[in-house]
Every structure is written in structure tokens, then in C-alpha cells.
Structure 1
Amino acid sequence: MNRRGLLIMGAAAPALAAGLPAASAVRVQTVAPPDPTEMVRLWPNGAPGGEGVTVVPIVPERSTDPAYRDRYAQYTTDPIMTVMRPERPNGSAMLLIPGGGYRWSVLDKEGFDVARVFAASGTTCFVLRYRLPADGWAAGPDAPLQDAQRAIRLIRSRAAEFGVRPDRIAVLGASAGGHLAGLASARTDGAYAPVDAADEVSLRPDLTVLMYPVATMADPHAHAGSRDHLLGASPSVEQVAAYSLERMNWTGAAPVFLLHAMDDASVPVENSLQLLTTLKAASVKVEAHLFQEGGHGFGVRLIQGRPAQVWPELARAWAARLDFPL
């Protein structure tokens, strides 16, 4: 038996002594699961406003452990959705928008890893690889929003093909991806000119989950990195107001589920608290969960063994009360 096997047996011993199965004490994965292979291009004739774009896409790997992957997509020029189909579909869809400070988009921690959790309970998941606002796109800070709106419309217009209901499309965003998901939920205007029949359907999600979201662009609670990459180093007062989620009109928006850790040192919990106040004032159905500890960017893997690991079950229970299986 190799050293890894001995370590596993040692860790499992307390559970075995207590009469519990070893699997309940230790869940060891030695090789990262394969990526889903089904992909959908958002823009068949190229993303809009790319005449001045010269960046070259990269997808670096940061993990040195074969048990998991930790990649990020930077300088994306051809936005895509990666589709993760469940074995037993429940009719719901979820567009996952990972974070990355609008500097890049993490693919695994807040994308594929979270998608696997919800696909396991029947939700058809779509992980969005979106364009970034500082890469020279004509739409500037609205370039990521164009991709999010187009993704929602593609899922809804092709609902039968994906085996989902057109009125059961959720969006889940984490960190800066939470800001983007919030924009997609609050803004009623289309951020791009229609390109085909898919753009005739609604761009609004039916349910919104925001994980430790970047919400405000205003000091003292703004995440400076996200703001700089979205709006530049010296945004105007008008820009700050226009892109702060807590200052938007959320009247008529889909129900929102908020989760945040109180000890988040990157995106202060006030981002969620201020947004919660706005949502309540707008009579949006909202549920919020604040955890004493968890830090930032925990996804599902980095929170194991801590109280916040239950957040997917909390989100499912909340959505079920709204007749929305997740």
C-alpha cells in the first residue's frame, strides 16, 4: 500500500471505530473529473464590437494537485457556454457566471465544480466564459453583460433542445460574476443589437443566486480591483452609480438568494447587506444567508467541513418553495 493509501486509512479510522462507513469520514478524489464536452458559441458571427480587440485568449492552470483543476480564462474573444447535462433532468436550467475580478473568469472553482453539484440534482447547467471589459471591446463595461444576456436568451430560445422549461432559467454568479449576474437580473434594457431570432425572447432570468457578490462600485465597500477592471482607474460619479447594484431599480426582478461570509476580506459583506436593503425596498422575494466564517471565493470545494458547506442545500430548499427545482 502506498503512502496516500495509509493516510486515507488513518483519516478514516475514527469513523470506523464509531461504526460509521469510511466514506462518510473521508472523500478522496485522486483524479479531477473530465470536463463536459458540449459547448455553445454565443455569437455565430463573432462577438459585437471587436474591431479594436487584439488580445489573445489564454487558459492557465494554477493547480498542482491532480485531484482538482483550478483554471482561469483571460482575454476571451469567442464567448461560450459549456453545457453540463444531468442524468435525470428536473426541467430547470442554471447559467453559472464565475468570478475573477473582471480580470479573468475562473472556470473550475465557481464554474464546473458548482455546476456538478446542481447537475447531480437534475439541473441542466451552463458555465459561461465571458468577455472582459478592459480588452478593447466597443461596449466597454457592458461587454460582459452582452454575453450574459445573450446566454440567457440562447438557453430560453433553445429550451426544448436542452430539455428545460423556458420559465425555469436561473443565473448564479460569484464575486465579480455575482455583479454580472446582478446586472443581468436588474437591467431591463438589451445591451446589444439583436442578431437573430434568439434575441426575440426575454433576457431576464427567473431566479438569481449571488455568492459573495461584488455589488457596489462606491467606497468604502467597493472591491477596487473589480471596479478598476470594469470602469477604469478613475470612474465618474455617474459611472459608479450606474454600475452599483444597490442603486439600481430592481422592481419586478426575479427572486434573489444571497450568501456571504462575514469574514470576507476581499469583498466586504456590506456588499450583500446594502443590496439586501434595496431588494427588500423593491419588494423582490429575497433570502440571505450570512456565515460567520468562510472568507472569499470558497465555491463548494474550499468550504467543506465548515458551516457554509450547506449553502447548495439552502439554495435548493429556498428555490423549491418557489416551485423551482435546483
Structure 2
Amino acid sequence: MIDLSRRSLLGAAAVTAAAAGAVQAQTLAPADPTEVVRLWPKGAPGGETVTVTPIVPERSTDPTFHDRYAQYTTDPILTVMRPERPNGAALLLIPGGGYRWAVLDKEGFDVARVFAAVGVTCFVLRYRLPADGWAAGPNAPLQDAQRALRLIRAHAANYGVDPARIASLGASAGGHLAGLLAARSDATYEAVDAADAVSHRPDLNILLYPVATMADPFAHTGSRDNLLGPSPTPEKIAAWSLDRMDWTGVGPTVLIHALDDTSVPPENSLQLLAALRAGKVTSEAHLFQEGGHGFGIRLIDGKPAAVWPELVQAFGRRNGWLTA
């Protein structure tokens, strides 16, 4: 069973009709959506020795926008943002944060508002972190991502979405998690209910400045340390590097990266693109002159990377995710 709490989600000030206008409007902070789905109504698996206390600090000192992050999550949730005019497409958003936390606004709600403006029903994932004592260790975030996608697909009719038009969007370490969700077909937890009988793999993948490799010299060491520990073996590094995985059969995938990203070097996307091509995945990559890392929506106003949502939407239309 899923636990739903519904209210009106998008007031008159929430989004504009045009996607470009919506991108610029993200300097404002509309009311947060309040429709929440608990992933694990009987508790997340493998938490018997977990003792952390969840926190959601606010980093912004500007009242016009939020900049929160979720750390020490013990009860993973999806927050639903329904568009005013749904078009049948769904989007699971997986924020980054170096597997230390998840930045809910910059790579979650802010991005969701842009896609909701063009009719996409959005789901922002607040997931567990691998170093918090979960029995599954590095698989704990993937358990949440797999469960989240399955819940969206299994209950697609409740959300007015097409179960064959569900995309995922992951940013930074969230891009690594979204890549795992797409590339790995193995079961990471025992079935909880009927929702776990449907596929967890997205129909389309959007990876923003993704952490792809766990190997030096291009690894993001913070993400690697938080995911695998401070001294992972070469075998473990290879097993958790997206560019070393078999991508055969994965849905269309688009990569977005800035060439001046000094946190997660663009070689992460370049190496991953080679793996996508080897797996014959329908793919596209956009490498921008400037944008830095972690730009989301709000931090790229006036920069070349500001057009990325429009490019992603065009890719989605060409590949059947968006129909208008």
C-alpha cells in the first residue's frame, strides 16, 4: 500500500505556460507540493542498526528561494508535483549531493517546476544514503530508486501518466544513481507488494553532470568515498563505474555537462557516452563552454547551459517521452 496525502499542488503563481519563462521564474519560490508517497510503508529494508536522525537544513538566506538538503534520511519519500495540464509523461528526479546528502530544491523542486510547466508529472526522490548503516550499504540508494520507479509505474493510472513514458533525471551523484537505475537489471531487495512486479527501468534517462567513473583521475572522490568507503578495491571501483557497465537495452539517454566543471570533470560524461554507444543506446550529449557544476536551473541564468531543459525536452519528443 502507498500512503498518499493530497492537496492542490500548483497555484496560479507556480509555473508559467512557456518553458523558457518557467526557467527564468525559478528565482521565486512557489509553495512546495504537499503530496507525499512513502516508499516503504513498513520501513526501509535493512535498517536494524541505523541510528541517524534525519535533518533538512535550509542554506538559503534569500526569502525568494529555498536551498535545502536532506541528510540522514530514514523514511524515503516521493514528493509529487502535478502539472496543470498533464501530458501523460512522468519524471523521477534524483538530486545530487555527493552521496552525503540530497539537494532537494536546486536539483529537485526547481527542476520539477520547469518540467511541470510543459505538462510532465514530476516526482522528487528523497533517498537513503550509503554510509548511514543500512544493511545494503551502497545498494541502499538504489533500492529506493528502484522502488520509486516501480511505484510510479504500478500506480500510473492514479497519476494520469503513461506507464511506458516514465523518465528519470539524475544530477551529479544523483546522476550516478539514475545511471545505476537504468543500467542494472538485478533485484536489490525482496518484493514488498504487487508494485515490485513491474520494471524499475526508466523509458528515458536524463543525466546532468553525472558522476560516472569511480576511477582516478576523473572520479569525484567525495561521492566515491561516501558510496564505497575510503579505500575501495580496484574490483569495486570497476563494479560501480557507470562507464564500465553493459548498457545494452537501456532506453534513450541524454547527457548534459559543462566543460568548466571542476568538481565532476566532463570526462565522466565523455567516458559514459562511449559506453552508451558501445551498448547501442540511442544517446545525445551536450557539452557547454561554461556552467560549472551543480547548476540546476537557477545558477545558469544567462549562461550557455541555460538552454538544457529545452534540449532535453526536444530529445524527449524525438524519442516518444513527450508527445507535444
TM-score, normalization by structure 2:
0.91
1:96 equivalent to 2:93? Answer yes
Q: Which runs of 4+ in 1 moved over 6 A?
A: 27-30
Q: 1:231 to 1:294 in 2, by over 3 A?
A: same
SS in 1 for 2:298: coil
Deviation per CA, 1:129-160: give whole Å up to 9, x if none.
00000000000000000000000000000000
SS in 2 for 1:148: helix
Paired residue total: 301
1:29, 1:67 within 8 Å by CA — same for their partners in 2? no
Task: Give the match for residue 62 of structure 1.
Answer: 59
The 1:120–1:142 alpha-carbon spacing in structure 2 relative to 1, beyond 3 Å, is: same
Distance in 1 separating the partners of 2:25 and 2:320: 35
Aligned-partner Cα distance in 1 for 2:205–2:180: 11
Q: Which amino acid aligns with 2:33?
A: P
CA-atom RMSD, angstroms? 1.2
Once the two structures are TM-superposed, the CA of residue 28 in structure 1 deviates from its matched residue by 7.4
Deviations 1:149-208 (A, max 9, x none): 000000000000011000000000000000000000000111111111100111110000
- 2:220 maps to 223
Letter in 2 for 1:105: A
The C-alpha deviation readout for 1:38-61, integer Å capped at 9, x for no partner, is 000000100000001000000000
Cα pair distance change 1:285/1:117, threshold 3 Å: same
Deviation at 1:307, TM superposition (A): 1.3
> Residues 31-81 of structure 1, C-alpha deviation per residue, up to 9 Å, x if partnerless?
521100000000010000000100000000000000110000000000000
Does the CA-based 8 Å contact 1:303-1:309 persist in structure 2? yes
The answer (yes or no) to whether the contact 2:167–2:321 under 8 Å persists in 1 is no
Indicate if the aligned counterparts of 1:101 and 1:229 stay in contact, CA closer than 8 A: yes
Matched, 1:50 2:47: yes
Structure 1 partner of 2:155: 158
Counterpart residue number, 1:5? none
- Give the whole-Å Cα distance in 2 for the aligned partners of 1:88 and 1:146: 31
Aligned residue among 37, 41, 57 for 1:40: 37
1:211 maps onto 2:208 in alignment: yes
Distance 2:219 2:84 in 1: 40
Amino acid at match of 1:269: P
Counterpart residue type for residue 251 of structure 2: A
Contact 2:166–2:321, Cα closer than 8 Å, also in 1: no
Question: Is the 8 Å Cα contact of residues 27 and 298 (structure 2) preserved in structure 1?
Answer: no
Residue pairs, 1:1-326, within 5 angstroms: 32-325=29-322
Where structure 2 has 5 or more consecutive residues not aligned to the other structure, the ranges are 1-20
Question: Could you tell me how far apart the structure 2 residues matched to 1:250 and 1:30 are?
Answer: 37
DSSP-derived class of the 1:95 partner: strand
Give the structure 2 partner of residue 10 of structure 1. Answer: none
How big is the shift at 1:241?
0.8
Percent identity at matched positions? Answer: 74
> Structure 2 vs 1, CA of residues 284 and 30 (structure 1 numbering), >3 Å: closer, same or farther?
closer
Residue 161 of structure 2 aligns to a residue in which SS?
Answer: coil
Distance 1:56 1:30 in 2: 31
Rg comparison, structure with higher value: 1
Q: Any idea what SS the aligned residue of 1:252 has?
A: coil
- Tell me how far 1:29 sits from its aligned partner: 7.7
- In the alignment, the residues of structure 2 paired with residue 306 and residue 321 of structure 1 have an alpha-carbon distance, to the nearest angstrom, of 25
Give the letter aligned to residue 209 of structure 2.
Answer: Y
Structure 1, unaligned stretches of length 5 or more?
A: 1-23
